[in-house]
Amino acid sequence: MSPSGVARPPLQSFQLDNGLSVVLAADSASPTASVWVWYRVGSKNEWPGVTGASHWVEHMLFEGSPRYGKGAIDRAIVSVGGELNAFTDTDFTAYFSTVPRDHLSVPLDIESDRMTRALIADEEVERERTIIHSEREGNENWPEFRVEEDLYALAFRRHPYRWDALGHREDIARMTPAELRGYYHRFYGTRNAILVVAGGFDPTAIAAEIRERFSPLPATGEDVTVAEVEPPQRGERRSELSGPGTTPYLQIGWRSPALADPATPATLVLDTLLGGETRMFSAGAGWWRSAEHPSARLYRVLVDPGLAVRAASDFRPKFYPGLFTIQALAAKGVSLDRIEHEIERVVERVARTGPTAQEMEEIRTKIRRGAALAYEGASRIGFRLGYFSVLRSPEYEDELYRAVLRVRAEEVRARAREMLRPEHRVVVRYTPTGEGQDD
Amino acid sequence: MTDRTDPLRIEYGAELDGLQVVHQPAPTGAASVSATYVGPAGWAFDPPGREGTARLVNQLVTSAAGRLDRIALARRLDRLGATLARQCAPESAEVSIWGPASEWGHLLEILADVVLRPRFDPSDVARARRQMRERQLREATQPASRAEVELWRAVFPEGHPYRESGVGSARSLARITRADLQKFHRAQYSSGEAVLVVTAPVGPAAVERAARRLFRSFATRTAPSLSLPPLGNRRPTERRIDLPGRSQVEVRLGGVSIPRSAPEYPAAYLANEILGGRPMLSRLFQQVREKGGLAYHASSALEAMRLGGHFEVQAGTGGDRYPKVVRLLRQELARASNEEVSRATLDTIRESAIGQIPLALESTSDAHELAVDVAYHRLPGDYWLGWPAKLRAVRPRDVRAAAALALDVRRAVTVLAGPLG
C-alpha cells in the first residue's frame, strides 16, 4: 500500500513535446497490460446542433485509420485474446484495450495510428448513424434514462451538461460527416490526450516505445475549456414524465461541486451517508453500485419501511459543477408525493444534525477499505489513473483520499445545509401509464 | 511436479458430508479473497404453487444471519471492506463473499453464517417480497426482459425449470410464507452436491481446516435429486409482443442446447463464439452491426448447465428495421449448422479464446469465476490448463456438427418485443 493508503503501483509520468501526457503504472507480476487513452473531450465541448459528436467520434475511431482499416482494430486486439472498448461522458472520451502482456505493442500501435488520423469516411459515418440511433433507442426503453436526461436538461440552462453524451435524436439525424470530421480534428489530438499504461511491462522499454510511436504525431487539439458558466438556480424546477412501465420513479438533483472544489470531500462523505457508498472509493468490484446498503440513511427511511423498492444517492464529481442526485423507485401503492416528502425529511435531518460519530467512523472505515482494494488488476488501474488524470491529475486521488478521511461531521452537515436546499432542487417524476399492473 | 501457485490449477480437497471443498491460489499480488458456496438451491426446486421461493431465499440469506440482523451484518461487512453477492439459476444457487485477503478467515465465517444460519426476519421477508414483485412487473413490461421471458416459455414445456426466470407470479409470491422459506433453506442449502470454492493467498490445508470448523452444521446432507421433464415435440414458433411507446424492438431467437458435460461442448463453445459470442469478431456483430448498420448490439449466448442447456441469439433495433434484423439473425444461425467454417476463421476465434485466459487472472474475483465453474461442474482441477489443447483439437467439421446439435436453427423460437406497430 502506498503511504497515502490508496493501493496502486508506483507511477511514472512524463509529457511528450507534442503535449501528450503519459502515465505508466508497472506491476511485474501482472499477466496482462492495459492501455487507455483518455481525451479531455466530451459532450461538454459540443454545442446545439452537434450534440452527440464526441460519442459518435468514439464509434468512428474503430472504423478506420491509415494502418488499420475498418474492423482491423477489433481483429488485432481480440485475436490475441485481448478485450477493448470505449466510452464517452460529459468530460471525456476514453478508449481501452487489455491484452496478455506479451502483446502490449498492439494497442500502442493502434492508439498512435488513430489519435490524430482517424479516417471518418462519409459512408462509415452514414452507416454508424443508424447504430447510434439504435444505442439511444435501447436506452430510451428504460424510464431511468428518460428521467435522468430530463433532470440534466432542467438543471442546466446554459452549460453543455444539459444534454446527454448520446446527444439529441435530431442532431444524430442531422449531423454531417464533414461536421463530425471537423469536430474530431479540432479537439482530438495529443494536447488533449492522456495515455495510461498499466500492468506487466518494463517501464523503461515501454517509455522508449511510446516516445518512438507518439512523438512524431503533430501537436493538435484545441483548448477544451468551457466558457459557459451556469448561473445560480433561483427556485425549484420540476418536470412530470409519463410513459410505459409499471413503477413510479423519481430523481431529485442539486447542483454539486466540481471534482477539484474543496467542498467535494464532504460531498463524497454525504453521498456515503445517504446512499451507502461513494463510487470514488468503493470496496465493490466495479465502478457501479453493486450492493444494497441497509445501514444507509435513505435505505432505512425508504426501503426498510416499504415505501420504496430501491433508493440511493449518487455523486460523480465532474470537471465543472454537476449534480448530486437522490433517486427512488416507489413500492406498489406508494405515491411519489410520499416518497418525496420522506426524502425531504432525510435531507432536513442531515442538514440539522449531521452524521453521528459512529456513522463518521463507519464511513471512514468503508472508504479506507475501498481504497485498499480499488486497484486490483491492470484494467482497473488504467481506469482509475485515467479518470483522475483526465479530470485533474493522477496524484489527485491521493490528495482527495486524504481529504475525505479528514472530513468532520460538522462539514458534512454544513454541506447538506448549503447544497440540498429546497429552492435549489430539480425534481423529475416518472409516472407509468399503468400497463402490466398484475398477472 | 505441479505448480501449486497457478490460479489455473484448482485443488479438490476434502468432502465434508458431501460438501466439496475447493482451493484456488490467488493471482500473484492480489489483495483480495473470494469464496463461494454453490448448492442445489435453484428455482427448479420451487414448491409447486410457490414459484419464486428459491430466488427469495437466495436474496434473504445475504440479508441477515446468526446474531446479526440486516443492519448489523451490513456494518460488519463495511468494517471488513467485504461484499456479499448472490446468484440464482434454475439448477443451483450461489452465495459469494469478496474482501481483503488479510481478513479471509473472517470472510469465511460470514459466508458460513449466511449459508447455514439465515434469519429470515419478517421485515426482511416483506422487503424482499416487494422487490421481487417489482421485478415481476418490470419483466412483463420492459422489452428486453419481456422478450427473454417469452422466449423460454416458448422453448420449454410447462413444468420445465428452464422455462421460467424464477420470479414467480403475484399469486405464487403471495402464497410463500416465512415457514416456506425456512423449509426450502433447510432442504436445499445442503452439503450434498454442494461446493465451497475459496480463492485466497493461503494454502489448501488452511482453507480445509477453516471449512471443517465453519461448515459443519448443514441441516441436510443429502442432495435433492433433479431431472428434467421430457421436452416433447415443440414446434418452432414466432411470438410478437407489441409494447407501444418504447423506442426499440428486442429480438430473441433461442432453443434447447447441450449440457456442459456433453463431449461436443468445446466445439459447441467455439461454434457459439463464431456465431455471436466473441465480441467484435463474431459473425452477428460483423453482419448486423458492422456491415448492416442495423443494431447497436447483436450477439449470441450458449448456456450449458449440468442437466441441459439453451442458446440464445439477440439484438435490439428500431421498429422499422427489425424484419431485416430477424432475417439476418436466422440466416447466420442457419449458416452455423449448414456451412463448414473456414480454417482461418476457426483459428482466429480459437486463438482469441485461448489468448484471453490471462485476462481472467487479472484479479481474484476474475480468477475465482473460473474455479467456481470448474468446481460446480466437477471438471478436473487442471481443466483450464488443458482447455487450449481441447480447443486446438476441434476441427471445422466438429464445429458444424456441434452447431447442428447445440445451436439448432430448425427448432429455434423467435420472439419480438417492443413497438411493432
pLDDT of residue A317: 95
Query: pLDDT band at residue B3, thresholds of 50, 70 and 90?
Result: low
Boundaries of domain holding A122? 12-214
CB contact under 8 Å between B142 and A142, yes or no, is yes
Return the C-alpha torsion angle A44, A48, A49, A54, nearest 10: 0
Give the end of a domain, one of A179, A214, A249.
A214
Residues A201 and A58 in one domain: yes
Closest CA relative to residue A270, chosen from A231, A296, A235: A296
ipTM: 0.90
Whether B52 and B176 have beta carbons less than 8 Å apart is answered as: yes
Looking at per-residue confidence, does B193 or A349 come out higher?
A: A349
CA–CA dist A18, A106 (Å, integer)? 22
pLDDT over 50 at B42, yes or no: yes
Q: Does a structural domain hold residue A231?
A: no
B147 touches chain A (CB under 8 A): no
CA–CA dist B319, B247 (Å, integer)? 7
- Give how far B386 is from chain A: nearest CA, Å: 17
Whether B249 and B420 have beta carbons less than 8 Å apart is answered as: yes
CB contact under 8 Å between B81 and A370, yes or no, is yes
Q: Does a structural domain hold residue A70?
A: yes
Q: Does a structural domain hold residue A5?
A: no
Report how many domains make up chain A. Answer: 2
- Give how far A306 is from chain B: nearest CA, Å: 6
Choose the closest CB to A294 out of B74, B133, B297. Answer: B74
Q: Share the mean pLDDT of chain A.
A: 93
Choose the closest CB to A377 out of B317, B348, B366. Answer: B366
pLDDT over 70 at A30, yes or no: yes
pLDDT of residue A5: 59
The architecture CATH gives domain B11-214? 2-Layer Sandwich (3.30)
- Give how far B149 is from chain A: nearest CA, Å: 14
User: What 3-state class would DSSP assign to B315?
Assistant: strand
- pTM exceeds cut of 0.90: yes
Residues A189 and A69 in one domain: yes
**pLDDT tens digits, residue range B284-318?**
999 999 999 999 999 999 999 999 999 999 999 98
Using an 8 Å CB-CB cutoff, list chain A residues near B133: 332
**Run of H or E residues at B255:** strand B248-257
**pLDDT tens digits, residue range A46-70?**
999 999 999 999 999 999 999 999 9
Using an 8 Å CB-CB cutoff, list chain B residues near A247: 134, 137-138
pLDDT of residue A283: 54
CB contact under 8 Å between B281 and A244, yes or no, is no
Residues A284 and A320 in one domain: yes
CB contact under 8 Å between A306 and B362, yes or no, is no
Q: Does a structural domain hold residue A232?
A: no
Least confident of A166-170, A284-288, B83-87, B164-168: A284-288
Give which of B73, B107, B296 to mutate to test A binding, by max A Cβ within 10 Å. B296
CA–CA dist A332, A248 (Å, integer)? 9
Whether B364 and B30 have beta carbons less than 8 Å apart is answered as: yes
pLDDT of residue A242: 95
Give the rounded percent of residues in chain A with a pLDDT score beyond 70.
Answer: 95
Residues A156 and A269 in one domain: no
Q: Please tell me the CATH superfamily of domain B238-418, with its number.
A: Metalloenzyme, LuxS/M16 peptidase-like (3.30.830.10)
Residues A207 and A242 in one domain: no
- The three cell numbers of residue B204 are 489448501
**pLDDT tens digits, residue range A277-332?**
887 876 544 444 456 789 899 999 999 999 999 999 999 999 999 999 999 999 98
Q: Kindly state the average pLDDT of the residues B5-23.
A: 94
Same fold, B11-214 and B238-418: yes
CB contact under 8 Å between A283 and B99, yes or no, is yes
CB contact under 8 Å between A80 and B351, yes or no, is yes
B83 touches chain A (CB under 8 A): yes
pLDDT of residue B2: 52
Using an 8 Å CB-CB cutoff, list chain A residues near B279: 74, 78, 83
- The three cell numbers of residue A353 are 444534525
Dihedral sign computed on CA atoms, order B65, B68, B71, B72? negative
Looking at per-residue confidence, does A284 or A348 come out higher?
A: A348
Residues A196 and A325 in one domain: no
pLDDT of residue A286: 46
Closest CA relative to residue B135, chosen from B56, B76, B247, B216: B56
Residues A256 and A196 in one domain: no
R_g over Cα of chain A: 22
Q: Kindly state the average pLDDT of the residues B246-258.
A: 96
CB contact under 8 Å between B359 and A82, yes or no, is yes
**pLDDT tens digits, residue range B321-374?**
999 999 999 999 999 999 999 999 999 999 999 999 989 888 899 999 999 999
CB pairs under 8 A between A and B: 220
Q: Does a structural domain hold residue A220?
A: no
Residues A149 and A293 in one domain: no
Q: Does a structural domain hold residue A224?
A: no
- List helix spans (H) across A79-226: 105-114, 122-140, 143-155, 169-174, 177-187, 203-214
Q: Does a structural domain hold residue A2?
A: no
Q: Where are the domains of chain B?
A: 11-214, 238-418
pLDDT of residue B4: 66
Q: Kindly state the average pLDDT of the residues A177-186.
A: 98
CATH number assigned to the domain comprising residue A303: 3.30.830.10
CA B361 from chain centre, in angstroms, equals 19
CA B181 from chain centre, in angstroms, equals 22
Residues A162 and A260 in one domain: no
CB contact under 8 Å between B279 and A78, yes or no, is yes
Give the end of a domain, one of A183, A214, A245.
A214
pLDDT of residue B28: 82
pLDDT over 90 at B418, yes or no: yes
